[in-house]
Amino acid sequence: MPVIRESLVQKLYKPGIGQELWDFANGIYPICRSISGNGVRETLGHIKQKIDLQIHEVPSGTQAFDWTIAPEWNIRDAWIKDPQGNKIIDFKKHNLHVLNYSAPINGKFQLADLKKHIFTMPDQPDLIPYRTSYYNINWGFCMSHDQLMSLPDGEYEAFIDSDHNPNGSLTYGEYFLQGESDEIFLFSAHCCHPSLANDNCSGMSVNTHLAQALTQLQGKTRYSYQFIFAPGTIGSITWLSRNEDKIKRIKNGLILSCVGDPGGPTYKRSQAGDAIVDRAVEKILRDEEAAPNIVDFWPYGYDERQYNSPAFRLNVGLLLRSRFGLFPEYHTSADNMEFLKPDALEKSYKHTLQIIDILENEYKTMNLAPHGEPNLGKRGLYGAIGGDKKAYDANLPVFWMLNQSDGQHSLLDIAQRAKLPYERIHDAAKVLSENNLLEVLND
Amino acid sequence: MPVIRESLVQKLYKPGIGQELWDFANGIYPICRSISGNGVRETLGHIKQKIDLQIHEVPSGTQAFDWTIAPEWNIRDAWIKDPQGNKIIDFKKHNLHVLNYSAPINGKFQLADLKKHIFTMPDQPDLIPYRTSYYNINWGFCMSHDQLMSLPDGEYEAFIDSDHNPNGSLTYGEYFLQGESDEIFLFSAHCCHPSLANDNCSGMSVNTHLAQALTQLQGKTRYSYQFIFAPGTIGSITWLSRNEDKIKRIKNGLILSCVGDPGGPTYKRSQAGDAIVDRAVEKILRDEEAAPNIVDFWPYGYDERQYNSPAFRLNVGLLLRSRFGLFPEYHTSADNMEFLKPDALEKSYKHTLQIIDILENEYKTMNLAPHGEPNLGKRGLYGAIGGDKKAYDANLPVFWMLNQSDGQHSLLDIAQRAKLPYERIHDAAKVLSENNLLEVLND
Amino acid sequence: MPVIRESLVQKLYKPGIGQELWDFANGIYPICRSISGNGVRETLGHIKQKIDLQIHEVPSGTQAFDWTIAPEWNIRDAWIKDPQGNKIIDFKKHNLHVLNYSAPINGKFQLADLKKHIFTMPDQPDLIPYRTSYYNINWGFCMSHDQLMSLPDGEYEAFIDSDHNPNGSLTYGEYFLQGESDEIFLFSAHCCHPSLANDNCSGMSVNTHLAQALTQLQGKTRYSYQFIFAPGTIGSITWLSRNEDKIKRIKNGLILSCVGDPGGPTYKRSQAGDAIVDRAVEKILRDEEAAPNIVDFWPYGYDERQYNSPAFRLNVGLLLRSRFGLFPEYHTSADNMEFLKPDALEKSYKHTLQIIDILENEYKTMNLAPHGEPNLGKRGLYGAIGGDKKAYDANLPVFWMLNQSDGQHSLLDIAQRAKLPYERIHDAAKVLSENNLLEVLND
């Protein structure tokens, strides 16, 4: 028989954890990640210091549904030297300077020819863009448009010491917590972007710390929890192709990405749009924040695209602060550690706990004294002097719980209808349950 | 076989009845009512002069679901005398001066001690508040905050001649009209507030006169009608506990409260929200009034809380003019007979008749010439000269009835879809029915 | 097995066809039509020059559901002469001068008596109104209010050379194109108004040219198409009464009326409101036009009243530019050929083709690589350099098609959810289908 569980936020949330979240992101920010290679391995190594991460290596050439795992990419150095032999850009100073997954090159080029391999952003001329070329092998560099414009004609030397190893592998990590039920909730963060703080380090940091916190309740949560750290697209498709049994158990999930900037919050709904995760996230964001931006699913973004594809429909939403693609720092060198804020990371972390709180307590309830209202006064649950215009506010969540507990409505249903913070409905349910006025129904 | 019935408003509504409604409220306004006692009995006596009210006495100590009927309260006198022996407040001048259901007291108190038993409203300093203490026995007085502030220190004498009789009873009245069908529509008004004009006298007056009017059609209405006059909360719970058979027959109902002030109108929906009573009230208020305020159910208010509780779900809404709790006179001495307006009472009375009209005619209809439009011209039902841009307005209700009478829609459905006043749809249905173009379906 | 069909617009739409549509309307504008008579025959003769129209004559006195076909009306001449013998109005100059279906008259009247038979519009004093008197036999004239006001007292001579022939007939035309499926889509235009350009000539012109264009695809369309040209109300009721077998095959249709003025566009939904024709028209108008006015069905207007009546419910909507009854030229002499614009006619014509395009391609689709997204890159279907903020727009329709093709959604469903132009979704479906990534399901 289920009972109203205690708040996970009360148990697991440590105010001030934002700095720890920021520090962890800062530790992995400098690493040059890609869809495969040592950068991913090094990143997962940081995570493994916090949780007992299972790390998988899947050989290049392996088939994953419609995809084939590409050769593993590694890079050691890259630069361009000007006609005078000065390094004008240097991979070691900023790894965005290299087209991610670039082929190696070592040669001399007239500026006009070199330019065909240089990517800039004319409308954000002082920033280095992030560019990739995974499925059409090319070599290239990225730099600020201002710098490109300042280059004199002449012969330049371009050097990229990288390789695509067909005997390499794709690397991803996962962590699983079995709960009382076999039903799984999925949390996933991508780990394939190089030095982009919000767009990958923030998500990995929150995902890691959330897994670490929930470990304290191992075996005592209602649901099982699956944490994934994988390269975007090919990583999640690979995970899906190797976990057919688990997939059947996943009913809901969240992608964590761009969860550390000062904007937002934003929630992109699952394809279903009204899954329990959608309702829970929307409720928490509306309870907690001034102007949450809740947007419908569209088939562009992060790995929610894969988890929500027709064969899976796992009801996975995307939690963000600013919406990806819309903040000016997105996919540029300005998405750095200064852009990341401890308090924004902390909010994201707290919200995920609050969302889990809803899920863990999502039961239908039954009023055990349903004939009219029960006499709350004799149980000390009602203000003593009646008639006061302002007295009733404190009693509202209790009255809502009593009125709506007919076996057809859950705590979240009731909180939504009552337009009251979920936390107050949860508290009322707990008090009524302790006074034998409320029963929680089995699933 | 049902037919389109004639309008109840046309049969029963007497324009100008507002003054009669006001006079009746004025007659019961001075009585000191509470959840039990002689004030309730005296009030029901007034009602019995209008309709053949059945009055019930339920002994103190009787169990009613989760509640026990409290000892009967009666009060004879109460006052406070200042250090000079002057009565500074006197129950006989205004019965709100006593905390309702107050314990007796007879003693002398320093002002500071007396103040612990005096209730005022600092934000409405010139008014006496209405306060009760039913389930936590206490003694107390209410007065204006201005008066309290003006009291000099010294020894005061407090006197309340009241008693709580464990061998007393709770009193309520009811009146029943059997119709053609066993299905019951319920009208209820509370009778437990002392001198509060809008918040109890107005509802009792409209409920009484409505019952009186419907008595003229005894046995000829479609539905049966149950009228209740009972103390709030405990009274309706007691009625519910003693009428299990009738409860099964109640499908809809209305609480009448605060139906006489110049604001509003307001309608608070039943818990179901889309019951036929909800749709009928909303239609009439939108047809008849400039800016009706239609609000969703919430579990605070009058006896709709009990009738809509999980064990009953009787689909009972609440009809008001101003919304209780929001008008400044609410639960103060300003809720007096000056605040009550004959024309507001008359509107409420007329609206209840119009609402009943909808219910009594709520049948699905069938067009008997459904292949295209029937030839209205040959029946004299259509304007003779076509092409006139303005001519069609008069025909619209007829065309809507014909188009929508496919056995799936009722008069109210059609009036809602057509966005036409219900009365015009009713008239069109009557005309078409008389011309054998329309048939009314059985339930 | 169905496939994504090619665009009808691409096959059949000839830019610049607006002038041809206007010229055709201009050719039939001068004819004096009514609900029967030679004017209708002459008009249908024009149409028969474009398509192989089947013309029916239904004898006066024939029963059609609730109606009897009236005697056939013909008119040869009509005028009023002033006291000096000058013709002040002359049917040969404007056929709106005669009350349509007027009885004959030949007599002298004092102005005051004559006025009882003269119709004007005081609020549009310079225009001749259009008035009819079909079912209440009368004689009469229409003129501008200014002219009426200028008439001196005296004896006037009124002459109408018309007759009502009980041995005549009602005339209508129809044209049918059998498609692969027996399911029929209906297009209908009324042909009973005299010299009113927008309100009847425009609809007949677009309906004729659409039928002519679709003839090129005879036997190759998915649906069968029924074109009707009939007098309003009695004509469509007559057609319905004689085509019971076809009626069962009609699932959707469109009335074309007032499709040539510079306002709008307007769409009046079918009675059902959410039939596929309603969704298709709304999508096309929203894709193509700045501010389409989409209005719910109401039982006044053109023959959609008959097709949507309870016995038929054929889901027939009404496509217009300006909404009938609301533009000032409506039912006046100002609804002339100057009011009709070639480009407005062309838009209406193109929209009907686009609407048919949706219907012909309305299949549910199945993604054949539904496990995550397929690798579009290896098929050359994806931009080569990733990370560009603006690159994704071009791919959006493809991603939407892939994500929503789960066998539950059609192309129109997907275009609506994606909020993308239908044409782009259609194109994406075609590309995916050609790449064996998409399958179209049978109905």
Q: What is the pLDDT of residues C401-412, one digit of tens each?
A: 999 999 999 999
Give mean pLDDT, residues A377-382.
84
Question: pLDDT tens-digit profile of C80-138?
Answer: 999 999 999 999 999 999 999 999 999 999 999 999 999 999 999 999 999 999 878 89
B243: contact with A, CB 8 A cutoff: no
pLDDT band at B277 (very low <50, low <70, confident <90, very high): very high
Whose tokens are 């070592």? That residue is A106
B403 interaction partners in chain C (CB closer than 8 Å): 271, 299, 305, 308-310
Q: Are B95 and B194 in contact (CB under 8 A)?
A: yes
Q: Quick one: pLDDT at residue B378? A: 87
CB pairs under 8 A between A and B: 92
Cis peptide before A104 (omega within 30 of 0): no
How far is A178 from A164, CA to CA, in rounded Å?
Answer: 38
Could you tell me whether strands B141-142 and B184-190 are parallel, antiparallel, or unpaired per DSSP bridges?
A: unpaired
Residues 6 or more apart whose Cβ sits within 8 Å of residue A392: A383, B300
- Residue C199, marked binder: yes
Q: Which residues pair with A226 in a beta bridge?
A: A176, A186
C383: contact with A, CB 8 A cutoff: no
B134 to A377: CB separation less than 8 angstroms, yes or no: yes
How far is B371 from B359, CA to CA, in rounded Å?
Answer: 29
How far is A169 from A36, CA to CA, in rounded Å?
Answer: 7
Q: Does domain C8-69+169-360 bear CATH number 3.40.220.10?
A: no
Q: Quick one: pLDDT at residue C377? A: 84
Q: Quick one: pLDDT at residue A395? A: 87
Question: pLDDT tens-digit profile of C55-64?
Answer: 999 999 999 9
How far is C163 from C147, CA to CA, in rounded Å?
Answer: 27
How far is A325 from A261, CA to CA, in rounded Å?
Answer: 13
Give the chain B residue whose CA is nearest to the CA of A398: B299
C229: contact with B, CB 8 A cutoff: no
Give mean pLDDT, residues A167-174.
98
User: Which tokens is A299 given?
Assistant: 């088939």
- Residue A209, marked binder: no
pLDDT band at C425 (very low <50, low <70, confident <90, very high): very high
How far is B150 from B147, CA to CA, in rounded Å?
Answer: 5
B436 interaction partners in chain C (CB closer than 8 Å): none
A242: contact with C, CB 8 A cutoff: no
pLDDT band at C383 (very low <50, low <70, confident <90, very high): low
Taking the domains of chain C in order of start, what are their residue ranges?
A: 8-69+169-360, 73-165, 365-440
Enumerate residues 24 to 83 of chain A having a beta carbon within 8 A of any beta carbon in chain C: 65-68
Residue B53 has pLDDT above 90, yes or no: yes
Q: Domain C73-165 sits in which CATH superfamily?
A: Domain of unknown function DUF2172 (3.50.30.90)
Provide the CB-side half-sphere exposure for B192 (13 A, CA).
Answer: 26
Smallest Cα distance from A391 to chain B, Å: 11
pLDDT band at B63 (very low <50, low <70, confident <90, very high): very high
With CA atoms as reference, report the closest residue to B289 among B314, B263, B250, B326. B263
Question: pLDDT tens-digit profile of A189-207?
Answer: 999 999 999 999 999 999 9
C392: contact with B, CB 8 A cutoff: no
Residue B137 has pLDDT above 80, yes or no: yes
ipTM of the complex: 0.94
C233 to B373: CB separation less than 8 angstroms, yes or no: yes
How far is A26 from A202, CA to CA, in rounded Å?
Answer: 9
* pLDDT over 70 percentage in chain A: 98
C-alpha angle A76-A80-A84 in degrees, rounded to nearest 5: 135
Q: In a mutagenesis test of the B interface, which of C34, C67, C331 is the best target, namely the one with the most B β-carbons within 10 Å? A: C67
Whose tokens are 């002030």? That residue is B261
What are the Cα distances from residue B11, in Å, to A383, B14, B216, C264? 48, 9, 10, 48
Q: In a mutagenesis test of the B interface, which of A371, A405, A420 is the best target, namely the one with the most B β-carbons within 10 Å? A: A371
What single letter denotes the amino acid at residue C265? Answer: P
How far is B334 from B25, CA to CA, in rounded Å?
Answer: 15
pLDDT band at B383 (very low <50, low <70, confident <90, very high): low
What are the Cα distances from residue B297, in Å, to A400, B235, B341, C172? 10, 21, 27, 57
Residue numbering of the annotated binding site of B for Zn(2+): 193, 199, 331
Residue C443 has pLDDT above 90, yes or no: no
Q: Quick one: pLDDT at residue A84? A: 96
Smallest Cα distance from B310 to chain A, Å: 5
User: Which tokens is C415 given?
Assistant: 């275009």
* Percentage helix, strand, coil for chain C under 3-state DSSP, each rounded to 5: 35, 25, 45
How far is A45 from B336, CA to CA, in rounded Å?
Answer: 77
Query: Pick from A367, A387, A418: which is nearest to B310 by CB?
Result: A367
B331: contact with A, CB 8 A cutoff: yes
Question: pLDDT tens-digit profile of B8-38?
Answer: 999 999 999 999 999 999 999 999 999 999 9
Q: What CATH class has C365-440? A: mainly alpha
How far is B196 from B29, CA to CA, in rounded Å?
Answer: 7
Residue A388 has pLDDT above 90, yes or no: no
C305 to B403: CB separation less than 8 angstroms, yes or no: yes
B205 phi/psi in degrees, rounded to 5: -65, -50
Residue C384 has pLDDT above 80, yes or no: no
Give mean pLDDT, residues B188-196.
98
Residue A387 has pLDDT above 60, yes or no: no
* Alpha helix stretches (DSSP H) within B92-163: 111-115, 145-150
Q: Are B344 and B259 in contact (CB under 8 A)?
A: yes
Residue B390 has pLDDT above 60, yes or no: no
Give mean pLDDT, residues A300-315.
97
B331 to A374: CB separation less than 8 angstroms, yes or no: no
Task: Pick B391 or A66 by higher pLDDT.
Answer: A66
As a whole number, the mean pLDDT across chain C is: 96
Question: pLDDT tens-digit profile of C332-369?
Answer: 999 999 999 999 999 999 999 999 999 999 999 999 99
A391 interaction partners in chain B (CB closer than 8 Å): none
B372 to C65: CB separation less than 8 angstroms, yes or no: yes
As a whole number, the mean pLDDT across chain A is: 96
Tell me the Cα Rg of chain A. Answer: 25
Residue A176 has pLDDT above 80, yes or no: yes
User: Which tokens is B127 given?
Assistant: 């008014």
B248 interaction partners in chain A (CB closer than 8 Å): none
Residue B338 has pLDDT above 70, yes or no: yes
Q: Which residues pair with A186 in a beta bridge?
A: A226, A253
Instruction: Count other C-beta atoms under 10 Å from residue C343's C-beta.
Output: 14
Residue B393 has pLDDT above 90, yes or no: no
